[in-house]
Amino acid sequence: MLSEDLTAPAAATAVAPGIWVAAFSAQSSCGVSALRILDGQAYRAPASAANDTCRVLFDGILYNRADLRNLPIESPNTPADDANVILRAYVRWGEDALAQIKGIFSCLIWDSRRNMLLCAHDPLGTYPLFYADAAGEVLLSTSIEALVRQPGVAPQVNREVIADYLRGRYPNPQETFFGAISRVPPGHALRIIGGHKQIYRSWGLDEPGTEVQLVGEDEIEQFDGLLEQATNRCLESGPAGIFLSGGLDSVSIAAFAVDGSRRRGLPAPWALSLAFPGPDVNEEIVQNGVAQALGLPQLMVPLDQATGPLGLVGAALQMNRRLSAPIQHFWLPAYCYLGAEASRRGCRVIMTGGGGDEWLTVDPIYAADLIAERNVRKLYQLLVNFQRSYKLPLLSMLRSVLWNNGLRPLLLAPARRGLHRVAPGVMRAYRRRRIVEATPGWYAPDAGLRRAMDLRTEQSIDRDLDAIGSERIGFYWDRARSGMDRSMLAMENEECFESWRMMGVRELLPFWDPDLIKLLYRIPPEFLNRGGRSKGLVRDMLARRFPQLGFERQKKVVAIDFFRSAIMQQGPGAWRALDGAPALSDLGIVDGRKLSLALEQIFSGNQMLSAGRVWDVLNLEAWLQSRS
């Protein structure tokens, strides 16, 4: 069982994000008092600033504080804290000030002159922001749990969202797992005027419908500087640790963090590593080699020690008791163990290589664009790159790149557009049939829920059909843009934020820095693969810095087989410990008897079903039981 010390290590409570709840009344006639902070024993008020007509609440870290401080001030006695700096920016630029703020934060701005409340957070949602209606007010917080506990906020879960999640059709980014609580999605802000709420996009990779302005080779040279800047921004929180795997992403962050810590007079970052069992996933040689070469103190913990006697599956399911949504990161218990140990060693921030896979690699859907262009040379180079960069059987790689991400989407796209144009009813029926065929027999036996899910299916089909008719900018760039609006991105960042509170130390991801992403998004795929392998932007640097560790030819370690093995070995015991799926059954989301029979077949090896689907069932059931 995980140590209870995870919840609040005494040495680092000052760096864990606080919990606050703000209440806004559009009917208030008392100026800035329309926005107020609710009192609570467990709450910590965010920074606050006000003048005669505006009030600002700010929680987080400003990266460009020095630049914003240079703005004109109303009085020489005005404090220069973050909230007053934001107030000054709003007075200067109005709503456009949101685009000038760089950092990780949640921010509320009440303007009594316009009877308007602006609710914003950083572009990637590192600091989440949620809201709910209660007793004529809008309640806002970075914590779902804090909102659920408020009088007038219904605590019931949203069974339609849970049902969508179970069938792999992720909910609208504004929805949460609670019916009464909504989120402000990453890249968006909430504007409330006269009681009317509007979610609108406040940040994006570029303007919708525009061609991507690719960077030239000279601009690509900015990458090292922007990655260094992103890492240094994380170091503003203090002494660091690195979740150090043996992969290119975390190692590159470690290299920049060492240099940045030295310049700031901070101690060398801690190398925080998990030792996985089995040769296919164990990276200890590289982890130890990097730590020694950089002079990092190292904490190497075996996976079974980090998860405890419950095992990886049991520890992950138990962690649902501390989370406001079903666990997203299967390995979270082990990393929380490492994080708490790092906190005890004086770390105030932990950096990870998260985001490297998303932004340093070329999505295989690029094959569809190359086939459409009849660019045989680049397509061949892409295939060679995948073979040299990933531990995949040759036939599986060819099927994935050439068919699943190449010919199939290329052939289906014009067929779907043509059918949608001449026979939209047929197209709609086809999409509906495909969804029904993919739905297992134990899913949504409740008639009311099934009708609601059918309606959500129709709405989803409408969105898909609208997208079919829209102008394309290429499969590769379409996927990059749409990925920023995934509800999964929001949920993963929210879980990361909640884990800060468990570990007592900030967990930050330099590769998700908005300035860095803006560059990486516009880099042509061939430059991301320079050198003939993936992640060429960091691979050459690491090969020079660690010449004995083989980064120039390293292939990515993929833990999917380890995940499947853990589910098949530990899943039956977890299913028995949960006593089946009574919570999912009570909500009408599953037929408990049919589901039990299906899982018995799977665990006995007589029926094929993805380990991911089994995990989703266990995960959702454990989370729902924790809410009762």
Least confident of 218-222, 437-441, 475-479, 622-626: 437-441
The arithmetic mean of pLDDT across residues 146-152, rounded, is 94
pLDDT of residue 2: 30
Looking at 465, 484, 503, the residue that finishes a domain is 484
Structure-token match 């929380």, residue found: 336
- Phi then psi for residue 442, to 5 deg, are -90, 5
Higher pLDDT: 167 or 417? It is 167
Q: Both 500 and 405 in a single domain? A: no
Distance CA 281, CA 245 (A): 10
Read off the pLDDT of residues 80-130 as tens digits, 9 standing for 90 and up. Answer: 689 999 999 999 999 999 999 999 999 999 999 999 999 999 999 999 999
Q: What is the DSSP letter of 244?
A: -
pLDDT (0 to 100) of residue 31:
58
| CA separation for the pair 531, 539 (Å, rounded) | 9
Indicate if 575 and 623 belong to the same structural domain: yes
**Which ranges in 62-103 belong to alpha helices (H)?**
65-69, 82-93
Segment 125-138 shows an average pLDDT of 95
Same domain, 310 and 446: no
Domain boundary among 170, 201, 232: 201
Give the pLDDT confidence score for residue 7 in this predicted structure. 30
224 pLDDT band (50/70/90 cuts)? very high
Res 254 pLDDT > 70:
yes
Query: Is-contact 316 2, C-beta < 8 A?
Result: no
Asked if residue 209 is part of any domain, the answer here is no
Rounded to whole angstroms, the Cα distance separating 370 from 476 reads 10
Task: Please choose, from the candidates 73, 38, 86, 104, the residue with its C-alpha nearest in 3D space to the C-alpha of residue 500.
Answer: 104
Average of per-residue pLDDT values in the chain: 89
Residue 15 pLDDT exceeds 60: no
The CATH number given to whatever domain includes residue 119 is 3.60.20.10
Buried b (16+ CB within 10 A) or exposed e, 263-290: eeeeebbbbbbbbbeeeebbbeebbbbb
Residue 212 lies in a domain: no
330: helix, strand or coil: coil
The 10s digit of each residue's pLDDT in 394-424 is 999 999 999 999 999 888 877 777 776 777 7
Residue 104 contacts residue 69 (beta carbons within 8 Å): no
Predicted pLDDT of residue 158: 96
Q: Indicate if 594 and 611 belong to the same structural domain.
A: yes
Residues 293 and 385 both lie in one domain: no
The answer to the question of residue 5 being in a domain is no
- Say what percent of the chain tops pLDDT 70: 91
Examine residue 95 and state whether it is found in any structural domain, yes or no. Answer: yes
What is the distance between the alpha carbons of residues 391 and 530, in angstroms, rounded to a whole number? 19
pLDDT in tens, 354-368: 999 999 999 999 999
164 and 259 inside one domain: no
Whole-number pLDDT of residue 6: 30
Angstrom distances, CA of residue 465 to CA of 165, 364, 454, 460, 625: 21, 24, 16, 9, 38
Q: Which helix (H) or strand (E) holds 50?
A: strand 47-50
Determine how many CB atoms are found less than 10 A away from the CB of residue 576.
9
Percent of the chain with pLDDT over 90: 70
Give the 3-state secondary structure of residue 109. strand
CA-closest candidate to residue 250, choices 126, 335, 351: 351
Helix (H) or strand (E) holding 345: none
Residue 68, in any domain of the structure: yes
How far is the C-alpha of 163 from the C-alpha of 37, rounded, in Å? Answer: 35
- Do 90 and 136 fall into the same domain? yes
Encoded tokens for 262: 């030295």
For 580-591, the pLDDT digits (tens) are 999 999 999 999
Q: Residue 426 to residues 93, 103, 395, 421, 457: CA-CA distances in angstroms? A: 51, 48, 35, 10, 16
User: Is the domain of 72 the same as that of 168?
Assistant: yes
Say which amino acid occupies 300: M
Q: Residue 443 domain-assigned?
A: yes
pLDDT in tens, 32-85: 668 999 976 566 789 999 998 999 999 999 998 888 877 665 555 566 689 999
In a domain, 82, yes or no: yes
- Residue 132 CA to residue 582 CA, distance in Å, equals 29
Provide the domain limits for residue 442: 366-484
Entry pTM: 0.92
Alpha-carbon distance of 338 to 276, in angstroms, equals 14
**pLDDT tens digits, residue range 296-328?**
999 999 999 999 999 999 999 999 999 999 999
Has residue 460 got a pLDDT over 90? no
What is the DSSP pairing of strand 506-508 with strand 349-351? parallel
Q: Which residue has the tokens 């150090």?
A: 244
Assess if residue 206 is contained within a domain. no
Q: State CA 322 to chain mean position distance.
A: 18
Question: Is residue 26 domain-shared with residue 165, that is, in the same domain?
Answer: yes
| pLDDT given at position 73 | 58
Domain final residue, candidates 537, 555, 573:
555
What pLDDT is recorded for position 1?
A: 28
Strand 103-111: give its sheet, edge to edge: 47-50, 54-62, 103-111, 116-121, 188-193, 196-201
Average pLDDT over residues 143-153: 94
CATH number of the domain enclosing 269: 3.40.50.620
As for how many domains the chain has, the answer is 4
Distance (Å, whole) CA 343 – CA 341: 5
- pLDDT for 368-402, tens place per residue? 999 999 999 999 999 999 999 998 899 999 999 99
Round to whole Å and give the CA distance between 333 and 308: 9
What pLDDT sits at residue 170? 73
CA distance 608 to 568: 11
DSSP 214: P
**Do 408 and 512 have their domain in common?**
no
Write phi, then psi, for 558 (nearest 5 degrees): -110, 125
Q: What is the pLDDT of residue 41?
A: 59
574-620 pLDDT per residue, tens: 999 999 999 999 999 999 999 999 998 888 876 555 788 899 999 99
User: With 0-12 CB in 10 A as exposed, 13-18 as middle and 19+ as buried, what is 543?
Assistant: middle
Same domain, 32 and 159: yes
Output Rg (C-alpha) for the chain, integer angstroms.
25
Whether 541 shows a pLDDT value over 80: the answer reads: yes
Q: Tokens standing for 446?
A: 């409740």
Region for 308 from its dihedrals, namely left if φ exceeds 0, alpha if ψ lies in -120 to 50, beta otherwise: left
Residue keyed to tokens 């749409």: 482
Q: In the prediction, which pLDDT does 40 show?
A: 66
| Contact in structure between 313 and 571 (CB atoms under 8 Å) | yes
CB 152 within 8 A of CB 134: yes
Angle (CA) 358 490 154, round 5°:
165
Does residue 251 share a domain with residue 195?
no
Query: pLDDT, tens digit, for every residue of 493-503?
Result: 999 999 988 88
Q: Is the pLDDT higher at 490 or at 194? A: 490
The length of the chain in residues reads: 628
* Amino acid at the residue 49: A
